[in-house]
Structure 1
Amino acid sequence: MTTTDRRPMYWEEFSPDSARAGAELACLRRGVGREPGNVPEMWRFHRVRISDHEARTGAPSASLTAEHAALTLFAVHQQSQRKSMHRQGMGLGASLRLLRQSEKYKKNPQALNARVNALATSADVPELAYHLRGLITQLRGIGQPLDYTSLFYDVLAWHSPEGQERTRRRWGAQYYDWAESKAKQPQTD
């Protein structure tokens, strides 16, 4: 699924000031730990398209599974927050790096490093979602947003070994700040 052939995702249009925000988030949190598509209250929040075969058979597609994970994680993250916890361009690794630099982990980052390593070595999407849920709760604790559209694509990529490898490298680069930035580059005159 490309960004040009899809409808806006729920978190992209979410407003914490909406009168129905709390009720919608509660509906989405009911899906935590459940199979994609098995929580009727969540159906109206899904935006991905599935094939006719998937619709007829009821088999959860990779895209439905990824969206389900992102929706439930967003609902956990957004709970009791006054600003949106979706921020375009803020990758998971970068958000977790800011968590590691927060007062909570500044003196002992090894505890968070171990949790991030457990996430990065998840064998499948259900294990990945389990580890993400714990880390998202930590991010909520410091009010640190992340890009849920990017997270959706990360979970979608987790369905293949190559996708897992690419996603791990991107998270690692963000978490350990491997990327060169203009501020880090030496001045050449």
Structure 2
Amino acid sequence: MTTKQYTISPDGSSTAPHPKASQKPVLHDAGLLVHKRISGLQNRVIGGDPRARGALANLRRAASKEPGEIAEIWELTQVDVPDHAGDAPTREEIAVHTAITLYALHQQSRSQPMYCQGIGLGRAARRLVGPDDGNSSLRARFNALVTSSTVTELRHHLRTFIPLLRTNEIPMDHAMLADDIVQFQRPGQAKTVLLRWARQYYSVPQEPESTSSPESA
């Protein structure tokens, strides 16, 4: 995919309150696609559209599946792939599928938006665990996530971690997560992504809070 960078402003389309992000995220291709699709879906879900809620149900069903396995979600998870792509899902297909299906898990039975721009995974985890690391069980879940060595392992830990955020009504930025997952899959880049989440967790200043170019190797 050709990489472009844009600064995305909050769309302000929902009146439901949610935390303000410290910075507007800089998104790349996968993140831009996820932002556009989740924003539209979330607006319809919050507005009570039954078809949107049906789409969420299909997405949740696909969360543990591979990209392309559930035909009902293709409209929301399809990405452009190069002509030379093989039979296996591309990094972008895995990232978009994972981020959007995780959003569906996150938004389940919630009347407030769980997609909120600028809140990285580490920052959301900090809100969940608490400022003093008081909940050792929740901290252990996050530790397991940030020691993932493969994208399969990462997806598994995300599927168990995101429902914890939902239970505590803690939103996050799934578009940023999509870009992170793309970069995680690039040779030599997994540690960079895990370090970014650790820095977000400990509030180490970053300028800006965003992924580096997914094209970097």
Q: Which TM-score band applies after superposition, normalised by the shorter structure? A: 0.7 to 0.9
> Secondary structure of 1:169's match?
helix
Tell me, yes or no, if structure 1 residue 87 matches structure 2 residue 116.
Answer: yes
| 2:91 aligned residue | 62
Measured in 2, the distance between the counterparts of 1:32 and 1:22 equals 15
| 1:47 to partner: Cα distance | 4.8
Q: How does 1:14-93 map to 2 (within 5 A)?
A: 14=41, 15=43, 16-19=46-49, 20-54=51-85, 57-93=86-122
| 1:186 aligned residue | none
Distance 1:3 1:29, change over 3 A: farther
Higher mean C-alpha displacement, 113-122 vs 156-165: 156-165
Measured in 2, the distance between the counterparts of 1:125 and 1:12 equals 25
Instruction: State the one-letter code of the partner of 1:26.
Output: A
Q: Deviations over 1:89-119 (max 9, x none)?
A: 01110011001128xxx78322222111111
| 1:110 aligned residue | 136
- Aligned partner of 2:4 among 2, 5, 9: 2
State the percentage of identical aligned residues. 36
Q: Deviations over 1:110-129 (max 9, x none)?
A: 22221111111112111101
Check conservation: 1:10, 1:47, Cα contact below 8 A. Answer: no
| 2:26 aligned residue | none
Alignment root-mean-square deviation, CA: 2.2
Gaps of 5+ in 1: 181-189
> Secondary structure of 2:155's match?
helix
Higher mean C-alpha displacement, 145-154 vs 156-165: 156-165
Q: Deviations over 1:128-186 (max 9, x none)?
A: 01101111000001111100110001111110243212211111111122238xxxxxx
Provide the TM-score with structure 2 as the length reference: 0.74
Measured in 2, the distance between the counterparts of 1:73 and 1:9 equals 15
Check conservation: 2:118, 2:173, Cα contact below 8 A. Answer: yes
Check conservation: 2:79, 2:93, Cα contact below 8 A. Answer: yes
Which structure: greater helix fraction?
1
User: How many residue pairs are counted as aligned between the two chains?
Assistant: 176
> Secondary structure of 1:52's match?
coil
